[in-house]
Amino acid sequence: MKEYDFRQAEKKWQKEWERQNVFHAEDFSKKEKFYGLIEFPYPSGSGLHIGHIRAYTPLEVISRKKRLEGRNVLFPIGWDAFGLPTENYAIKTGIHPRKVTDENIKIFTEQLRSIGYSFDWSRELDTSGEEYYKWTQWIFLKLYEKGLAYKDHTYVNFCPECRVVLSNEESQGGKCDRCDSDVVQKEKEVWMLKITDYAEKLLEGLDEVNYIPMVRVSQENWIGKSAGAEVNFKLEGEDTNLRVFTTRPDTLFGATFMVIAPEHPMIEQFKNRIQNLTEVEQYREQAKKKTEFERVELAKEKTGIEIKGIKAINPVTQGEMPIWVADYVMMGYGTGAIMAVPAHDTRDFEFATKFDIPIVQVIQKAGEEETTLPFTEDGIMIHSDFLNGMDVKKSKEEMIQYLEKQKMGTRKINYKMKDWAFARQRYWGEPVPIIHCPVCGMVAVPEKDLPVTLPDVKNFKPGVDGESPLADIHEWVNVKCPKCGMDAKRETDTMPQWAGSSWYFLRYIDPHNHEELGDKKKLDYWMNVDWYSGGMEHVTRHLIYSRFWHRFLYDIGVVSTREPYAKRTAHGLLLGSDGEKMSKSRGNVVNPNEMVETYGADAFRLAMLFVGDYENAIVWSEDTIRGAKRFLERTFKLLDLVAEGKGYSKELEAPIHKTIKGVSEDLENAKFNTAIAKLMTLINTFYDHKKITREDLLTFITLLNPIAPHITEEMWQEMNGKGLLALGTWPSYDPAKLIEKEIEIPIQVNGKVKAKIVIAIDETEESVLEKARESLKGMVDVKEIVKQIYVQGKIVNIVAK
Ligand code: ANZ
Ligand code: ZN
């Protein structure tokens, strides 16, 4: 009996697959293509994390299965290599981020290879490589050309710790995504991408794709479409209007006060009329210190100041309305001002109650006398003149039409999504390819001069006020204007890390193209990505950014599909064995290298898939990987069971066909754990049967191959299988053979198995017992039968004298 030595075998097969170029994705192959995508790693200094194995193994298995099914598979890998951690490390140690990145990539590569992933390494890319970021800059220039990249003077989220401007997405919850410090608002000139122009397209695009509901919903929420109206409120004694955005124009008769954001320009405009200006300005200063998150928090105590000396007029009631400044209204949304309807909005209600402002109810709960306020549901309009008696939906529509006719307002759709702050004042990123000329203004770097490469610098630390370290490199900054030849200066902002990952799936298709981002024919052949598997943490920002860039590239004719990803699923988190998030401080981190060395890559892969559902959070357990290793050992020992025989063993035919069907479907539905359970059942059936044919075993190991590719390849070779199993054929099943018609059951006498009989699956008890007695005839130790029990489909138990 041969022993399986995974340490030797895994290395051997990894080399062999590589030597035979097994995972090469062939452009324009006649075979049907399959493009499987995983979220490429950031090559951090701490090396591959067990979370990467969690993230990559599912689609790895799918990719291997698709190859066996005869598909031309593209399963690529690359490096999302620009970013802060490497740069922060460079600042600390003085080692160039290029050098750090290259070293990290080397480590990651070795680690990923040790798992036996079937990546097409010939397409490896690195977003921080000049050949790559040339095209990131090229896309930026196209966006700039179309007016979708612009520089704006705005308030930005700024992390004082990292000294870097953050996008909204990077500062969710008012915390810096990287270092968890509190984010502050800072006024700055920054590059913005006009993703808001694409809000509707990005929303509609969701109808074309197959995303799991959770992912789809988070995209919709991120875009945050809301339909309503903009309404003008006349300011008493002025010619100007205060314009608000409301999703509830139906409640206009109940609007009793106005609230403007502390940053609203009205304060500046009417500073001579405002009697309590100092107080108002003080309030504004306080608001500046709060994060957006703190300001919009529902539960927080409402604060505000009434603006004295100026009032607004309700356009339908002509009533006088006080104007308040409060920080629960944000300048960045709608018009930065609201009409407050305390009877039907929770926040307005709290505010009005606290500051003793009149509350006017305009909606009644249908069929009830009393309505508790605030009442925010649908009901019947009251105290609302021409709307009385209508429901909310109808009166919204009526009111919008009325406002439009009276020229007091317009229908309006707003999106929560804001334009994308597309700049960092840091070194380790793609330089924004723009030149500032004193005569021509902003000038795009001519395409032929791309890439604008990063100069070599000694000091990577940004200036205190958030200037990029590039600003100090005079030889680099000072250039001639490409238009007029005058002395000009390069833009010193670099792009955020999201830039490189917004189009990497396209570059995989043609990674070595020097002329274009990608050959159109190749792009047409491979796109869309058939299946994108990733984590839940990237279903807002990365997904929306990359869909935006892709849709833009579609609009300018670079790609032929509107949406990049046909299918997007999300795997759950991987928790430590204590059920908590893995972290160094908790000491529950699992080192992938150790797992591979102790149990082997196959056992690691198998355990990762078996330990829980794909889409749910799973708890890592070392017991599972031990069990996985034992299962693989049992699998290898099946070689000893192989006996003569053509085709499948007759009695195993049905279970084998059933397993082929089950495993095929489970894998396709990302039910990896139940697929493995089915294989475990089959192996038990094999052992029960005591001998198996070569065909039985070949089918079994083919089914197991995508999950445990090394050991099954070794067994394939042991059995003189033709070529490599990695290039083999996925077995098919015959629906007619799924039903087990005959089974073999043991006959036990006084607790010992004495014989076996073959019976029909639906054979009557009487007939089975008859057959059982028959099989015992002539046996010396069975003289007189005292009792006989038939356990249906399992066993006959006999007590005999
Ligand atoms: C009157 C009203 C009555 C409102 C009512 C709601 C309920 P979404 O769905 O988020 O778009 N609003 C508008 N601009 C705002 C801003 N810049 N900061 C804070 N709140 C703002 O919500 C739109 C609603 O949020 C608007 O409709 C407005 O309040 C408020 F019974 O207007 B509503
Ligand atoms: Zn110029």
Radius of gyration of the chain (CA): 34
332 CB-side CA count, 13 A: 17
Q: Whose CA is nearest to atom 12 of ligand 1?
A: 338
User: Which ligand is in closest contact with the Cα of 484?
Assistant: 2
The verdict on the CB of residue 361 being under 6 Å from ligand 1 is no
Helix 694-704, helix 653-668: angle, nearest 10: 10
Atom number, ligand 1, closest to the C-alpha of residue 344: 31
Contact 49, 55 (CB under 8 A): no
pLDDT above 80 (res 301): yes
Burial of 681 (0-12, 13-18, 19+ CB in 10 A): middle
Tokens of 369: 């006398």
Dump pLDDT digits (tens) for 393-445.
Answer: 999 999 999 999 999 999 999 999 999 989 888 899 999 999 999 999 999 99
C-alpha 477/C-alpha 489 separation (Å) is 5
Dump pLDDT digits (tens) for 367-386.
Answer: 887 889 999 999 999 999 99
Q: What is the pLDDT of residue 1?
A: 63
Distance from the alpha carbon of residue 483 to the mean position of ligand 2, in angstroms: 5
C-alpha 40/C-alpha 499 separation (Å) is 14
The verdict on the CB of residue 629 being under 6 Å from ligand 1 is no
Distance from the alpha carbon of residue 488 to the mean position of ligand 2, in angstroms: 7
Q: What is the pLDDT of residue 293?
A: 76
Q: What is the pLDDT of residue 569?
A: 97
C-alpha 61/C-alpha 530 separation (Å) is 15
pLDDT above 90 (res 760): no
Q: Whose CA is nearest to atom 20 of ligand 1?
A: 329
Q: Whose CA is nearest to atom 33 of ligand 1?
A: 246
Name the residue of 221, 223, 247, 371 to mutate for ligand 1: max ligand atoms within 8 A of Cβ: 247
Distance from the alpha carbon of residue 744 to the mean position of ligand 1, in angstroms: 72
Nearest to 697 by CA among 633, 629, 632, 648: 648
Burial of 94 (0-12, 13-18, 19+ CB in 10 A): exposed
Amino acid at 748: Q
Beta strand pairing call for 305-313 and 574-575: unpaired
Distance from the alpha carbon of residue 279 to the mean position of ligand 1, in angstroms: 25
Distance from the alpha carbon of residue 589 to the mean position of ligand 2, in angstroms: 56
CB-based contacts of 429, cutoff 8 Å, min separation 6: 82, 83, 494, 495, 496, 497, 499
> ∠ at Cα 577 (571, 582), nearest 5°?
65
Q: What is the pLDDT of residue 185?
A: 80
Contact 189, 152 (CB under 8 A): yes
Element (H, E) at 393: helix 392-405
C-alpha 107/C-alpha 94 separation (Å) is 20
Bond from prior residue into 451 cis (ω within 30 degrees of 0)? yes
Dump pLDDT digits (tens) for 63-106.
Answer: 999 999 999 999 999 999 998 888 888 888 989 999 999 999 99
The verdict on the CB of residue 414 being under 6 Å from ligand 1 is yes
Confidence of residue 169 (pLDDT cuts 50, 70, 90): low
Candidate from 39-53, 184-198, 249-263, 749-763 with smallest mean pLDDT:
749-763
3-state secondary structure of 485: coil
Which residue(s) pair with 391 in the sheet? 380
pLDDT above 90 (res 339): yes
C-alpha 715/C-alpha 731 separation (Å) is 17
pLDDT above 80 (res 742): no
pLDDT above 80 (res 462): no
Percent share of the chain, pLDDT over 90: 78
C-alpha 102/C-alpha 708 separation (Å) is 30
Cα 282 versus chain centre, distance: 42
Nearest to 53 by CA among 611, 730, 543: 611
User: Which ligand is in closest contact with the Cα of 253?
Assistant: 1
C-alpha 232/C-alpha 238 separation (Å) is 13
User: Which ligand is in closest contact with the Cα of 409?
Assistant: 1
Dump pLDDT digits (tens) for 681-724.
Answer: 999 999 999 999 999 999 999 999 999 999 999 999 999 888 99
Within 364-503, residue ranges assigned H as helices are 392-405, 474-477, 498-501
Cα 419 versus chain centre, distance: 20
Count of other CB atoms within 10 angstroms of residue 792: 11
Q: What is the pLDDT of residue 738?
A: 82
User: Between residues 453 and 800, which one has the greater pLDDT?
Assistant: 453
CB-based contacts of 373, cutoff 8 Å, min separation 6: 342, 343, 344, 349, 359, 361
Q: What is the pLDDT of residue 464?
A: 66
Which residue(s) pair with 321 in the sheet? 312
Candidate from 9-18, 19-28, 81-90 with smallest mean pLDDT:
81-90
The arithmetic mean of pLDDT across residues 752-779, rounded, is 86
Beta strand pairing call for 72-74 and 33-38: parallel
Amino acid at 182: D
pLDDT above 80 (res 291): no
Residues in the chain: 801
Q: What is the pLDDT of residue 560?
A: 97
C-alpha 157/C-alpha 186 separation (Å) is 6
C-alpha 645/C-alpha 511 separation (Å) is 49
Quick one: CA dihedral 256, 260, 265, 267, positive or negative?
Answer: positive
The verdict on the CB of residue 226 being under 6 Å from ligand 1 is yes
Quick one: CA dihedral 750, 752, 757, 760, positive or negative?
Answer: positive
User: Between residues 460 and 701, which one has the greater pLDDT?
Assistant: 701
The verdict on the CB of residue 529 being under 6 Å from ligand 1 is no
The arithmetic mean of pLDDT across residues 296-307, rounded, is 87
CA dihedral 282, 284, 286, 287 (to 10 degrees): 170
Candidate from 296-300, 712-716, 753-757 with smallest mean pLDDT:
296-300
Nearest to 402 by CA among 234, 254, 247, 231: 231
User: Which ligand is in closest contact with the Cα of 363?
Assistant: 1
Beta strand pairing call for 320-325 and 257-260: parallel
> ∠ at Cα 155 (154, 161), nearest 5°?
130
Distance from the alpha carbon of residue 60 to the mean position of ligand 1, in angstroms: 46
Dump pLDDT digits (tens) for 565-594.
Answer: 999 999 999 999 999 998 888 889 999 999
3-state secondary structure of 379: coil
Tokens of 319: 């009533």
Which residue has tokens 């707003």?
414
Quick one: CA dihedral 704, 710, 715, 720, positive or negative?
Answer: positive
